[in-house]
Amino acid sequence: MAIAIPSIACLGIIGRNNNPLHISIFPSYDPAANSFAPLRTPLQFSLLLSSTLDIFELRARQNAVNATGLTGDYGLLHAIDERLASYGFETNTGVKFVVVVDMRGRRIDGSVAGNLKGGVVGLREGEMKTVFRAMQTAYVKLLQNPFFEPDEHSPPAGSGGKKITSKRFAEDMRRIGESWTPGVTAL
Amino acid sequence: MDEYPKGSLDPSIPLLLTLGVAGGSDHGIELDTALREQGVLIRSEAAPLDSEQALGLLRYIQDHDLSRLPPTSPEPIAALRYRFRVRTAERSLLLPPRHARLPDGADPPASPAALHSPFSPLSTVSKLYPDGLIDTKWLQKHQALVPALVLCFYTLVSDPTQATLCDNQIKSDLNNIKGLLSQSGYKTRLAVVLLSDQHAPSVEGVQERLENLRKGCGIDSKALFLVPPNESTQELGRMAENMLSTLYPLAVEYYRDLGRHARKKRGRGIAPQPTIPPTSGTSQTLSLAGWNVRYDFKSAIFAEFRSEYENALRSYDQAYDGLLSSELLEVIPSWSPRWNEARFLADVIAIRGISCLLFGGQHSTAARRWQLHRDKVAGFVDRHGRGTKNYGWKAWESRWAVVMANLIERTVIPGFEPQLHQRYLQPEKVAMGERLQPFEFLHHPGYWYRLAAQHLYGRRALARAMPDDDRSPPSSSPASHVASKAFTYDTYMCPEPHEEYPLNDAPGTDYGDLIVDNLTRARSAFLERQQVRFAAELSLECARELTIRRDWKSIVELLRPLWKNMSFRTEGWYTIAEELSWILRGAAAMVGEAALVVAIDWELLNRNFTKRTNWHYDISKSLDGISPKSRPHVYIEDGQTLSFISASFIFKDEEGKAGQSANGQLTLKSSAHQGSAPIRLNSVQVELNGSVNRIIFKHQDDADPQQKNGNTSLSAMSLSRITDKGKGKATDPDSLDEEQMVILQGDANLTLAPGQVIVLGVQVPLREPGETCAVSLTMNLHSESFDLDQYQSFQQGRGASIWYLSASRTKRVARENPLAVKVLPRPPQMEIVGLTWKDQYYTDEPIALEFEIINEEDVDAPARLDAILVGPLPPVFIVEVPGQDETSSDGGSKEESRLSGLSLGAIESSKSIITHVRVPPIPESTQYNLTLKLVYFLSTNPGTPITQTAVFQLNIVNPFEANYDLLPRVHPDPWPSLFDPEGVRDPSEDDTHILPKGLCQTYSLVTRYASFASEDLRVHDVDIRVQTSRSVRVHSTRTLPASPNRIVKPKTIEDAAFDITSQKHTLDDRSQSTLDVSLVIKWSRLTSSTPNTTTLPVPRFVLFGTEPRVLASASHIRLKESPKPLIILLIIIENASNHFLTFGLSMEPSDEFAFSGPKQTTLHLLPVSRRSATYRLLPLASGSKTGGWIKPGLVVRDKYFQKVLRVIPTEGMKLDKDGAFLVWVPPEEEEGSENGEGSSESE
């Protein structure tokens, strides 16, 4: 028996000015067509990522009031529906990482899933930490590039900014998005 | 949730019925007509009460009807002392029959028939007969028809004559009701409220009557209430509260009995047989499992009535499991109506179960239960029903999401109120450790509504996919097809295919309406929680739906505010902004919102957006096909759109000077889509702050750029000043209205092709000091069909600061604010020159300064002069301006002397005037600063004062310094005798006329003065001025011959000597007196002849005194025999005291000289006398040519005090460092030595 397990549907990096820096979209398994295809259109994923900004803002405000949330890991931002859920992380420079998880993005054989709890697999609170850590490592690697000008991507005064064009960074994101499965501890 | 039949999902609240108060209708009319005939009518014979008190009480009870109150959180509900659903009846209530009748025409059974409730599947009248489970009617029976409590209102008459009669009436009425109730078979409790009338009867009597009533009717003492008359509203409320709280346990008890009954029946473990065995259909009766579900459901409902949610949940779970077990739902054939009934029951149980979970705070379990039910039902439908691939299933899924949203909305969950902005709830503790699905965190209704909308899309898609054959009404299709259709489409709670999506565009299900409704609800839920972007996404979705419905107006209403200030634009989510813009543009074009269409088209030209291949991208064609009522004027605010023209205005230099001009550049860069039509701007206005108000660039077709390189064109503009018509007065160029706007204008070619950069260099004249900066910019475009103005404000740090050196070369202006130029004040062209300026001025000299003020401005300048002299105790000075009187400063202050606002009149261009400043002689050496401040105006610009300041330092020094020696000399005259009677003064004589007869002393004052000036000075005269005390007469003469007009060089020492002879007025006065002398030097600079007088004070000398003194005087005699001079040394001892003194003189022999005179002698001096001793000295040393000094060892000793007196040398003598005196020996063989001259004493 095949069991649906979560996979990453989209990775988003959002800059300090709430501007999109990078969006990677990953295909999900479609049992009807027995193929892999993105669950939503790029526009829908854009909307989905942008909607998390509301939550980042609210959470930042709440954190400021309660003086909590120093780690920047915002955990589950919201579940858009039964399949898609957004998880968020904010660095102390205001760069936000968003992971959109498709709860039924992959299918594995029941025998393989034996060690996992039967039925539909959920996610634990801290399970996204690995992904965020890997994303942050990739982002730090990007920042270390002397030709990468962070101010160009999120001007300190003003709005908007350029997107990240680094191929290596995109490759990193692709690797993270494709290799993550629940229970992975290092990416 | 509204789609479920009325009452099926209502919360179970104990039903309370009030009877006997006027105003309420009769109860039980909702009953089915069939049942109404058989219903039990209970009627009160007593007249309904209409007293204020009764109505007030009823109102209070009605106001606390829980079913009508808005939802509150479960905690307050749990804390409630009572929960009632309240119904009122005036006189009668109709209860449904307890037992159904036998159907007409049925064969009477052999044994007496077991009659059952009409709501039971056992009764033939019930729709459930013979094998149904349970339906809403049963729920309604308990929720709305059969009360747990009947509360009867009566008046307790106080009139003693009628009391018994009335009591009996109440008694009989109550007994009647009671009888009827028990006849009906319901265990409804009875409670009585007695309202006292006006006259308060005695307490005992009342108690007795109440007891009587209670006993007479067999009413529980807890269920009998007496309301005293004339109670206030508050008091009534308190009583009602108390009453309801007392009654609530009775109601709970009632439902507990019912629950117990249901459980008892379940416990029997047999399926009851219907009254009449079924003959039609499958003749199947309800199985035992079915009965168990029915009983469990009943228990659950009764537990809910009692607010025992956990018990209820347990029973619901049992019922649910039983229902979905292999014995029930699995075996019900899907074609049977029972299948849908069972599905309905499963829904109801699930919903009620979830509601219980929400009440119990098990949010995640509730969410999970929701999913579980969906999955289970999906499984059943797939296996036994029509499958999940048709619109019916999607309809249910959508409904199922709405149900959850409604449930969450209906339950107020603490910590989940919209104003707390929570998106979801943390799972309850039990579920905390599990691997939860994200959606099992209970999300707010917005998400659920959205989910419902998503399913509606699916429903529509599936409905649209139906073949036409299925969509034709059954009447027009062959019977076989109708049959097959019945097995294809799930019509559980949704229309048949031919109604869902009929052929021929007949109205079917309005999906758009449903979707928009759900999306709108979701949107408001998101907005409530400040999820603005999510709400925007929903608006977008909504708009897409409305596009399908061609509801253009609603789209414009919905999206226009969003388009105006969406965050997607500023934050760079261009794909979203673009999507929204296109939708809105389409709708706006349909509605005829021409201005909006133009504005959107304008924005969409930006290259950041994706280019549509089939779009013209020509702003002039924007309004093709739209005929607006009036010519649209589009005004685009700053930041309202993502403009494809980026404009900047920067200054090249950071600083400029007023009166000069600064280099500025306007850069217009188009980032429109490649291939879009060029934009021809009509004008660009740059608003500035400071010297210039506005620069207008006007389009001129033939104004070709001066430099062109690729896409960049650069031209330097010449600007001309135009007058602002709005200000009116500006027509007169001479009027110096400061408020006048400065507007410059130039012509340029403002046609912007995609990717083109237009650079326009301008010279901005700077007028006023301060800052001139570019503030904003407005672009105007006038096309054939519309006008467009785009406003843009310049902000520091926004936009690149690129300066175009030429069309091909740029440089970055690395300044903090390239938008501004700092205008320094206009440099003054008026000069102040000190003409006769000297480094040093001297004390006691009048200082005359001359200044020339030169006007180097181009025009005449009226000027004013301020002069300030700063320093210690500045003198009052005088300023002289040609053609005016002298003006003196005010010398009020200790530190400055000031002269302000001295008008110099208008100074002509390149002319000058001379002013004189005169400072009076200053007695002391000091330093002053003279500041001359010139404030002038140019006749061309009288509003702006220009200031020129010059500071001069006045160094005032003493030209001379001197030191002084006062040397005693021997006064030649003999002393007057104390014993001479002539010396005695007649006291009657006037002081002034008598000749002084006192003692005399002579001194020689030797001064040495030096010039400290930096230049040669001419000294006219040197003199002394003597000031004495009154007791002394002083006469002074100059010893050295004065050389008038002597030129004194700097740092040279000049001598001057004066003889001073002083005499006391009387001999009697022998006290000390002082002598104040000052040296007066009359001098002048070489250039001037007016002498200045400098007075140098000489330290005070002390004359006279009573102490004896010894003077030595020497004179020389040239002997012919010897070349050596003979020195005659005279020792004079003066005794000014009143004592007789004796002195011993001893002369020691010496190798230096030989002497004659007493070697040792004694001199006796009378009071006020002097005596002398004479020695002749012949120097022994072989004669020197230069002369020399010898040291006579002469000692004068006061015999009495044994004190050696110092011998004071006079002329030709000096003291050595031991205090002994030396005598000058003139050189040999020289005659007439000067040294001898001083001696006035001779042998």
Per-residue model confidence as pLDDT tens digits over B1091-1105: 888 888 888 888 777
Residue B939 has pLDDT above 50, yes or no: yes
Residue B557 has pLDDT above 60, yes or no: yes
Query: Across the interface, which of B454, B533, B573 has its CB nearest the CB of A81?
Result: B454
Contact B437 A50 (CB under 8 A): no
d(CA B555, CA B578): 15
The predicted model gives B433-459 an average pLDDT of 89
The arrangement of secondary structure in B643-824, i.e. its CATH architecture, is: Distorted Sandwich (2.70)
Contact B1109, B1100 (CB under 8 A): no
Residue B446: predicted pLDDT: 93
Return the DSSP state at B367. Answer: H
Q: Which residue has the higher pLDDT, B1186 or B955?
A: B955
Query: Across the interface, which of B447, B572, B798 has its CB nearest the CB of A20?
Result: B572
Backbone angles phi, psi at B919, to 5 degrees: -115, 130
Contact B575 A78 (CB under 8 A): no
- What Cα–Cα distance (Å) separates residue B80 from each residue in B77, B241, B360, B835? 5, 11, 16, 105
- Reported as a single tens digit per residue, the pLDDT across B105-161 is 656 555 666 778 888 888 877 888 778 888 888 888 888 888 999 998 888 887 777
> Of B331-345, B961-975, B1178-1192, which gets the smallest average pLDDT?
B1178-1192
Query: Across the interface, which of A54, A103, A158 has its CB nearest the CB of B534?
Result: A54
Query: Which are the contacts of B500, defined by CB distance < 8 A and separation ≥ 6?
Result: B391, B463, B466, B494, B508, B509
Residue B733: predicted pLDDT: 43
- DSSP strand E in chain A: where? 2-14, 20-25, 28-30, 35-37, 73-79, 84-90, 96-109
Give domain B1109-1236's CATH number out of 2.60.40.420, 2.170.120.20, 1.20.1340.10, 2.60.40.10.
2.60.40.10
Give domain B960-1103's CATH number out of 2.60.40, 2.30.30, 3.40.50, 1.10.287.
2.60.40
- What Cα–Cα distance (Å) separates residue B762 from each residue in B96, B719, B746, B750, B897? 96, 7, 9, 15, 50
Q: Is A123 on the interface with B (CB under 8 A)?
A: yes
Q: Which amino acid is at B118?
A: P
Count of pairs with CB atoms under 8 A, one residue in A, one in B: 109
Q: What percent of chain A has pLDDT over 70?
A: 91
Q: Which residue has the higher pLDDT, B1135 or A111?
A: B1135
Query: Which are the contacts of B1161, defined by CB distance < 8 A and separation ≥ 6?
Result: B1144, B1145, B1146, B1173
Residue B1227 has pLDDT above 60, yes or no: yes
List chain A residues with CB under 8 Å of B405. Answer: none
d(CA B591, CA B603): 19
Query: Across the interface, which of A18, A85, A124 has its CB nearest the CB of B571?
Result: A18
- What Cα–Cα distance (Å) separates residue A171 from each residue in A23, A24, A146? 12, 10, 19
For chain B, residues classed under CATH 3.40.50 are 15-103+115-268
Residue B386 has pLDDT above 70, yes or no: yes
Residue A172 has pLDDT above 90, yes or no: yes
For testing contact with chain A, the best of B398, B423, B579 (most A CBs within 10 A): B423
> Of A166-170, B177-181, B1064-1068, which gets the smallest average pLDDT?
B1064-1068
pLDDT-derived band at B1212, boundaries 50, 70, 90? confident
The predicted model gives B497-520 an average pLDDT of 87
Residue B260: predicted pLDDT: 93
Q: Which amino acid is at B808?
A: S
B15-103+115-268: CATH class: alpha beta
Q: Which residue numbers of B have CB closer than 8 Å to A's CBs?
A: 371, 421, 423-424, 434-441, 443, 447, 450-451, 454, 529-534, 537, 540, 567-568, 570-573, 575-576, 579, 795-798
Other Cβ atoms less than 10 A from the Cβ of B221: the count is 9
Give domain A2-179's CATH number out of 2.40.50.140, 3.30.870.10, 3.90.700.10, 3.30.450.70.
3.30.450.70
Paired tokens of B106: 């049925």
Residue B226: predicted pLDDT: 85
Residue B1038: predicted pLDDT: 74
Residue B74: predicted pLDDT: 59
Residue B527: predicted pLDDT: 92
- Reported as a single tens digit per residue, the pLDDT across B804-863 is 888 888 888 888 888 888 888 777 778 888 887 787 888 888 888 888 888 887 788 888
For the entire predicted model, the pTM comes to: 0.71
Residue B587 has pLDDT above 80, yes or no: yes
d(CA B1049, CA B414): 107
Residue B28 has pLDDT above 70, yes or no: no
Residue B730: predicted pLDDT: 39
> Of B42-46, B459-463, B486-490, B579-583, which gets the smallest average pLDDT?
B486-490
Contact A43 B437 (CB under 8 A): no
Residue A15 has pLDDT above 60, yes or no: yes
Q: How far is A48 from chain B (nearest CA, A)?
A: 8
Residue B799 has pLDDT above 70, yes or no: no
d(CA B577, CA B608): 10
List chain A residues with CB under 8 Å of B450. Answer: 80-81
Contact B699, B682 (CB under 8 A): yes
Partners of residue B1224 on adjacent β-strands: B1189
- Reported as a single tens digit per residue, the pLDDT across B203-244 is 667 788 888 888 888 888 888 888 887 778 888 888 888 898
Contact A103 B434 (CB under 8 A): no
Paired tokens of B282: 């499958």
User: Using CB atoms within 10 A of its CB, is residue A166 exposed (0-12), middle (13-18) or buried (19+)?
Assistant: middle
- Reported as a single tens digit per residue, the pLDDT across B4-21 is 888 788 888 899 988 888
Query: Across the interface, which of B423, B439, B572 has its CB nearest the CB of A82?
Result: B439
Residue B239: predicted pLDDT: 87
Residue B1094: predicted pLDDT: 84
Partners of residue B1025 on adjacent β-strands: B1078
Q: Which residue has the higher pLDDT, A130 or A186?
A: A130
Residue A27 has pLDDT above 90, yes or no: yes
What angle, rounded to 10 degrees, do the helices at B337-359 and B391-410 form?
Answer: 30
Q: What percent of chain B has pLDDT over 70?
A: 90
- What Cα–Cα distance (Å) separates residue B707 from each residue in B363, B652, B704, B712, B736? 72, 19, 9, 8, 39
Residue in chain B nearest A6 by alpha carbon: B437
pLDDT-derived band at B1138, boundaries 50, 70, 90? confident
Residue B929: predicted pLDDT: 87
Backbone angles phi, psi at B206, to 5 degrees: -65, -50
d(CA A134, CA A97): 11
Read out DSSP for B1077-1132?
EEEEEEEEETT--S-EEEEEEPPPEEE--SS-EEEEEEEEEE-SS-SSEEEEEEEE
Q: How far is A101 from chain B (nearest CA, A)?
A: 9
List chain A residues with CB under 8 Å of B438. Answer: 76, 78-79, 85, 101, 103, 122-123
Residue B550 has pLDDT above 60, yes or no: yes
The arrangement of secondary structure in B830-951, i.e. its CATH architecture, is: Sandwich (2.60)
Give the H/E segment covering residue B233. Answer: helix B233-268
d(CA B145, CA B17): 9
Other Cβ atoms less than 10 A from the Cβ of B1101: the count is 17
Residue in chain A nearest B423 by alpha carbon: A78
For chain B, residues classed under CATH 2.60.40.10 are 1109-1236
Q: Which amino acid is at B926?
A: T
Residue B1140 has pLDDT above 80, yes or no: yes
Residue B1233: predicted pLDDT: 43
The alpha carbons of chain A give a radius of gyration, in whole angstroms, of 17
Residue B1243 has pLDDT above 50, yes or no: no
Residue B110: predicted pLDDT: 55
Q: Which residue has the higher pLDDT, B621 or A113?
A: B621
Residue B353: predicted pLDDT: 92
For testing contact with chain B, the best of A5, A10, A50, A149 (most B CBs within 10 A): A50
List chain B residues with CB under 8 Å of A81. Answer: 439, 447, 450-451, 454
Where would I find the H helices in B64-122? 74-79
- Reported as a single tens digit per residue, the pLDDT across B303-354 is 989 888 889 999 999 999 998 888 888 888 888 888 888 889 999 999 999 9
Contact A101 B575 (CB under 8 A): no
The predicted model gives B265-284 an average pLDDT of 78
d(CA A25, CA A39): 9
Residue B499 has pLDDT above 80, yes or no: yes
**Distance between first and last Cα of chain B:** 156
List chain A residues with CB under 8 Å of B456. Answer: none
For chain B, residues classed under CATH 2.60.40.1530 are 830-951
The predicted model gives B91-96 an average pLDDT of 84
pLDDT-derived band at B524, boundaries 50, 70, 90? very high
Q: What percent of chain B has pLDDT over 90?
A: 13
